């Protein structure tokens, strides 16, 4: 939807869902573009996403030191605060929507930018449609974000490239570390991604460069403990050491997550175990292979916030996504999400921005194509490498103090 007339008023920028290494770069792109836009009279940052709107907790971004704002590029996690808040169907309960409208009117908000993943685009879509329904002029734009890379309609998501780079680099290092003795060792690395295997697949970049997992398991395929044992035993027989990467979301054919499956004798979990998936699988292999040394490593939050290892490409694209959302809205667009289209010319990767209807992207999940998984179902095919490698390129300059990261220090002045 495009509106030709100039719309003057304030804007709100909100961050939502799980943080990433570069979501603040998107915030910076949006805030900077909004501060520079003539049509935008005031720039508010919502504290903890939509909750900040509902609670009338808005930070005045115009009050911030520009140099500190720029350091948002260097600051992992969601500096404005995030939330996981599911908006109700406005046809059933419009309480929240009325409140949002009230706040929009109070601050003359005519632009709303929401930065997040699937659920956040749903929020964004509902608010956009509600404003249209009640005839309140507000341009609403979604800015994509998720390390999980499962947003529909965009080639990839800001946040994924940096997480992928962290995972690949860490797997290379663990591969080196876990093979140092002449004694047998099995190491299982657990990687985020409940429903899509983009992140676990990124461990395949390490393997591609000769120091990565021997076996990789994604949630796109059903997991079989018997096949897993057979795969591991084959590698183990050959070299006495096995490095395995698993997505946290691997599941049996009946849909049960391996991480949550009932303890049973048949699947090798002979006694109650409460550790994470990596520890459970490592212990099962220890029992199976007769006391071999095992280690489970969960990359946990580290893979999500590893800003010191951010991909330069991802960082630049995250900022671009924020800026593009503001510029498109000021130019008349609304009800859209910023998306990326990949252009490959002469083997060179290039990323172009396009705008997708919010309704088309909200709530759909994009999974790893099965042809990018190897035939044995335990590793990545070249298609995945070709897809992921351009996204992790570039080591940006990272401001430091005493060789430790220097993060943005915002004043966070609340609007009255």
Please give the C-alpha separations between residue 18 and each of 120, 158, 264, 337, 396, in angstroms, as whole numbers: 10, 13, 33, 18, 23
Closest CA to 318 of 213, 171, 179, 163: 163
Q: Is 187 in the site for its own copies (CB under 8 A)?
A: yes
Is residue 346 annotated as part of the catalytic site, yes or no?
no
Considering only 128-136, 143-151, 206-214, 372-380, which stretch makes contact with its own copies by CB under 8 A? 206-214
166: burial class by Cβ within 10 Å (0-12, 13-18, 19+)?
Answer: buried
Report the residue from 298, 319, 327, 335 that binds its own copies according to the rule CB under 8 A.
Answer: 298
Query: What is the per-residue binding string for its own copies in 316-355, x denoting contact by CB under 8 A?
Result: ----------------------------------------
Cβ proximity of 253 and 222 under 8 Å: yes
Contact window for its own copies (CB under 8 A) among 73-81, 228-236, 256-264, 332-340: 73-81
| Contact residue for its own copies among 29, 76, 197, 249 (CB under 8 A) | 76
Q: To which H or E segment does residue 290 belong?
A: none
177 or 222, CB closer to its own copies? 177
Nearer to its own copies, 338 or 388 (CB): 388
- Nearest approach in angstroms of CB 172 to its own copies is 6
Please select the residue that binds its own copies; options are 6, 264, 363, 393, rule is CB under 8 A. Answer: 393
Return the closest-CA partner of residue 179 out of 235, 236, 243: 243
Write the DSSP symbol of residue 262: P
Interface with its own copies (CB under 8 A), residue total: 65
Q: Does 389 bind its own copies (CB under 8 A)?
A: yes
Q: Does residue number 145 form part of the binding site for its own copies (CB under 8 A)?
A: no
81 binds its own copies (CB under 8 A): yes
Around 7, how many Cα atoms within 13 Å sit in the side-chain half-sphere? 25
Query: CB of residue 313 vs its own copies: minimum separation in angstroms?
Result: 9
> What is the 8-class DSSP label of residue 201?
H
- Separation of alpha carbons 174 and 189, rounded Å: 9
Longest dimension (CA), the chain: 73
Return the range that interacts with its own copies (CB under 8 A); candidates 144-152, 193-201, 205-213, 228-236. Answer: 205-213
**Residue among 43 and 392 whose Cβ is closer to its own copies:** 392
Taking the complex as a whole, the smallest distance from the CB of residue 331 to its own copies amounts, in Å, to 32
Residue 75 near its own copies by CB under 8 A? yes
Closer to its own copies by CB, 1 or 302: give it: 302
**Segments in 275-362 forming alpha helices (H):** 277-288, 302-305, 312-330, 358-361
**What is the distance between the alpha carbons of residues 99 and 57, in angstroms, rounded to a whole number?**
13
Residues β-bridged to residue 342: 351
How far, in Å, CA of 398 to CA of 60, rounded? Answer: 26
Distance linking the first and last C-alpha atoms of the chain = 33
Task: Choose the catalytic residue: 96, 119, 122, 148.
Answer: 148
Smallest separation (angstroms) from its own copies to the CB of 69: 16
Contact 69, 78 (CB under 8 A): no
Q: Which stretch binds its own copies (CB under 8 A): 64-72, 245-253, 325-333, 402-410?
A: 402-410
Least Å distance, CB 42 to its own copies, is 24
Based on the shown chain and the rule CB under 8 A, indicate whether residue 134 belongs to the binding site for its own copies.
no
Q: Name the residue nearer to its own copies (CB basis): 82 or 118.
A: 82
Residue 274 binds its own copies (CB under 8 A): yes
Query: Exposed, middle or buried, 136 (CB in 10 Å: 0-12/13-18/19+)?
Result: middle
Q: Which of 237, 253, 375, 402 binds its own copies (CB under 8 A)?
A: 402
Q: What value, to the nearest 5°, has the Cα angle with vertex 84 and ends 83 and 90?
A: 110
Residue in 286, 189, 200 with CA at minimum distance from that of residue 236: 286
| Residues labelled as active-site residues | 148
**Site residues, its own copies (CB under 8 A):** 19, 47-48, 51, 75-78, 81-84, 165, 168-170, 172-174, 176-182, 187, 205-206, 209, 211, 272-276, 279, 283, 295, 297-302, 304-309, 311-312, 389, 392-395, 400-405, 407
């Amino acid at each position: 939807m495009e509106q030709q007339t100039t719309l003057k008023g304030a804007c709100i920028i909100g961050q939502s869902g799980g943080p990433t290494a570069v979501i603040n770069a998107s915030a910076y792109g949006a805030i900077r573009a909004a501060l520079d836009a003539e049509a935008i009279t005031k720039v508010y940052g919502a504290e903890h996403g939509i909750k900040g709107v509902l609670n009338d907790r808005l930070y005045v971004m115009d009050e911030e030191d520009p140099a500190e704002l720029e350091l948002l590029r260097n600051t992992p996690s969601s500096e404005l605060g995030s939330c996981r808040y599911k908006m109700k169907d406005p046809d059933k309960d419009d309480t929240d929507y009325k409140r949002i409208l009230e706040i929009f009117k109070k601050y003359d908000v005519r632009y709303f930018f929401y930065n997040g993943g699937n659920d956040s685009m749903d929020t964004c879509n509902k608010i956009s449609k509600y404003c249209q329904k009640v005839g309140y002029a507000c341009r609403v734009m979604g800015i994509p974000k998720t390390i999980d890379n499962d947003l529909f309609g965009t080639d990839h998501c800001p946040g994924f490239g940096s997480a992928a780079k962290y995972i690949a680099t860490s797997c290379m290092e663990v591969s080196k570390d876990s093979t140092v003795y002449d004694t047998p060792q099995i190491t299982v690395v657990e990687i985020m991604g409940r429903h899509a295997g983009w992140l676990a697949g990124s461990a395949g970049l390490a393997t591609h460069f000769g120091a990565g997992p021997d076996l990789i398991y994604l949630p796109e395929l059903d997991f079989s403990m018997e096949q897993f044992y057979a795969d591991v035993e084959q590698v183990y027989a050959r070299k006495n050491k096995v490095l395995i990467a698993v997505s946290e979301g691997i599941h049996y054919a009946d849909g049960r997550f391996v991480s949550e499956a009932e303890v049973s004798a048949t699947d090798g979990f002979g006694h109650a175990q409460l550790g994470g998936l990596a520890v459970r699988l490592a212990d099962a292999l220890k029992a199976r292979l007769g006391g071999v040394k095992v280690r489970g490593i969960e990359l946990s939050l580290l893979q999500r916030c590893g800003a010191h290892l951010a991909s330069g490409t991802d960082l630049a694209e995250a900022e671009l996504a924020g800026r593009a959302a503001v510029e498109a809205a000021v130019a008349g667009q609304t009800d859209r999400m910023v998306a990326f289209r990949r252009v490959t010319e002469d083997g060179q990767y290039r990323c172009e921005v396009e705008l997708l209807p919010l309704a088309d992207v909200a709530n759909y999940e994009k999974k790893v194509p099965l042809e990018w998984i190897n035939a044995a179902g335990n590793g990545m095919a070249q298609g995945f490498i070709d897809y992921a490698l351009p996204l992790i390129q570039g080591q940006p300059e990272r401001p430091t103090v005493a060789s430790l990261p220097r993060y943005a220090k915002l004043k966070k002045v609340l609007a009255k």
